Amino acid sequence: MMATASSNHGTKSPMPLRKKIGYAAVALIGLAALWFALNFAHFKSQAKLGASYGAHIACSCRYIEGRQLASCESDFEPGMEMVRISADDENQRIRASIPLLAEAYAERRGSFGCLQLNQAEIDAID
């Protein structure tokens, strides 16, 4: 009589479903992080554009039309919900920002209306 082996040395047990889901989640998070890193410059430039537009519109609304700052947000285009504005009434200046990404300033300058401040002017404020 021959003896037969009862152990399965050559076969692998299948990977548990929980482990498969974990690996898939890590892979998806990694791909999302890579996509965000590769597109960060685009996001930052769009944020700067939105903040600049918001500063200009809010400055015109507040200092040319004479409206309250809270009503000026209704003039923003759809998709500008992240833009935050604040006013410096003494200098007739508006600061618009998108948290952690961009900020812009616009200031009323007499008959020229509201103008965007360049980086040197912004640095002089701080």
E strand segments, 51-124: 84-88, 93-98, 102-108, 114-116
Q: Are 39 and 95 in contact (CB under 8 A)?
A: no
Predicted structure pTM score: 0.73
Judge contact between 83 and 69, C-beta under 8 A: no
Domain boundaries, the chain: 39-125
Q: What is the DSSP letter of 107?
A: E
83-119 pLDDT, tens digit each: 999 999 999 999 999 999 999 999 999 889 999 999 8
123 pLDDT band, cuts 50/70/90, is confident
Position 10 confidence tier, pLDDT thresholds 50, 70, 90: low
